[in-house]
Structures are given as structure tokens and as C-alpha cells.
Amino acid sequence: MKTILRISAFMALVLLLNPTAQAQSSGYTTGIGLRGGDASGLTIKHFIDNEAAIEGIISSSFRYRGTVLTALYELHAPAFNVEGLQWYYGLGGHIGFYDGYYYYRNRGNKRYEHRDDNIFGLGIDGIVGLEYYIREIPFTIGADIKPQLNLPAGGGFWNSALHVRYVF
């Protein structure tokens, strides 16, 4: 958990001290697509200027049987001098509603079933990733790591994902 707090604090410092981050135009305005990984779902990204975007994610977790709404502010910068390839980083927050999950314990020949219900999650998120814009199709593909920290219940998670977006 300390590592997640340190990474989040570092990203916040970078955002505050260097908001332009030597970025160039992303080449598109809005992208809508699918995100697959630890928390799969729908994603929409909209650029508010040449290097800054707002991303919304509606995800579902199979483990916890719930829905999470995430909003992120992201800055983009060119990556490795490859046209169409950008890295991005940002901060945001999430709110989650979980139906709970089953877990089992075996003691001898008996199996005990437990269920946790109606879990509410609120927290902060960071994101770091790479995105490649394929102009001919028009799609983006990308990968990211999204650390998050749930505030009421504590606990941090590292979500990693791949995404594909149709852009216009």
C-alpha cells in the first residue's frame, strides 16, 4: 500500500509541476472501445486539448461481481520517436458497487461457504500506459497499468489491461 501511495504522489507531482510534458497532438479527438484485463469493460477517452484527455471506464470484476466507474485525467507525450505511439500518465478516482463474492473453506470433510454482500468502494487511481494510433483503420491499441487505492476499506490493487478503441 505504501508503494501505491508513493507512485500516486509522484504522478500528482509530475502533473502539477510539468503539465505540458513535451506532448504533441494525439491525432484524434474521441475514442470508444473495450478494455480487457483485471477489470474488463468499456472505455471512452476524449481529448480536451492536444496533450490532455479525460478517460472514463466502466468495468466489471468477475472476482467481486460488481461495477466500477472510473474517471481519469491523462497527459500524453510521444514515445520512442515512433509516429502514432504515445505514452500517457494520469490521476483520477473511482466509485464501485460490488454484490460480493463467495469463498470456501475446507475443514476436514466439510466445506463451509461464506458470502460478503453489498460492498461499496471509493478511491483514487493512477494510470501509466502506451497507446498506438493506427490512422489507416482508425483504431488505437494500448496497454496500461492502473494502480488504485480503495479509501473506505483500504487495500490497493494493481490493474493491468489491454484496450482497443475506435477513434474519430
- What would the mean pLDDT of 154-162 be, rounded to a whole number? 79
Q: Is residue 16 pLDDT above 50, yes or no? A: no
pLDDT class of 146 with cuts at 50, 70, 90: very high
Q: Is residue 4 pLDDT above 70, yes or no? A: no
More confident residue, 13 or 42: 42
The winner for highest mean pLDDT among 4-8, 79-83, 155-159 is 79-83
Domain that holds residue 33: 2-167
> What's the domain count of the chain?
1
Q: Is residue 74 pLDDT above 70, yes or no? A: yes
Please tell me the predicted confidence (pLDDT) of residue 115: 61
From the number of C-beta atoms within 10 Å of its C-beta (0-12, 13-18, 19+), residue 167 rates as buried
Q: Which three cell numbers stand for residue 39?
A: 477489470
More confident residue, 44 or 116: 44
pLDDT class of 55 with cuts at 50, 70, 90: very high
The CATH code of the domain that includes 121 is 2.40.160.20
